């Protein structure tokens, strides 16, 4: 029985890792800073987000692409990494940035209708001097939300 449970656990972990590995990646820029972003363009990927991740590289993040601009909100249920989220308008201009604490269910919302959200390690935007009103480059190459 122990072996069967272990095999089931390992299969589940492998499936999760495979699902995470399937998210496409794209390069974005914030000023002269390069970002390697995983792209969450489907409802399933947006719902999964960075849940259960144990690490995120220093210039890695996740770009959430929404089907329409709205006052979208994010939360951190089952997310163990402290993150900062920047909400972006249609042109990629940062509307606002929120710091989010791990494993909380507080809503962190866009201040105005947002078409994208970019999650990075907590403090990344502040450390790079990236502020509301600045633009994120490369979004024109992003896939359409599905």
pLDDT in tens, the chain (146 residues): 444 344 444 444 444 444 445 799 999 999 999 999 999 999 999 999 999 899 999 999 999 999 999 999 999 999 999 999 999 999 999 999 999 999 999 999 999 999 999 999 999 999 999 999 999 999 999 999 99
Per-residue tokens: 8: 């089931």
pLDDT score, position 68: 97
CATH for 24-141?
2.60.120.1140
pLDDT score, position 22: 75
Which residues are CB-contacts of 17 (< 8 A; sequence separation ≥ 6)? none
Per-residue tokens: 65: 């692409």
CA gyration radius, the chain = 16
Q: Centre a 10 Å sphere on the Cβ of residue 138 and count the other Cβ atoms it contains.
A: 16
């Amino acid at each position: 029985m122990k072996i069967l449970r272990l095999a089931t656990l390992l299969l589940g972990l492998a499936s999760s890792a495979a699902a995470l590995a399937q998210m496409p990646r794209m390069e974005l820029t914030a000023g002269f800073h390069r970002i390697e972003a995983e792209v969450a363009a489907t409802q399933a990927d947006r719902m999964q987000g960075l849940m259960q991740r144990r690490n995120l590289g220093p210039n890695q993040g996740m770009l959430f692409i929404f089907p329409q601009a709205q006052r979208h909100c994010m939360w951190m249920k089952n997310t163990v990494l402290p993150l900062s989220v920047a909400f972006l308008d249609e042109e990629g201009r940062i509307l606002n940035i929120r710091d989010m604490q791990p494993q909380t269910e507080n809503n962190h919302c866009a201040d105005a209708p947002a078409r994208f959200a970019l999650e990075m390690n907590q403090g990344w935007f502040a450390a790079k001097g990236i502020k509301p009103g600045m633009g994120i480059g490369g979004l024109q190459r992003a896939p359409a939300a599905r």
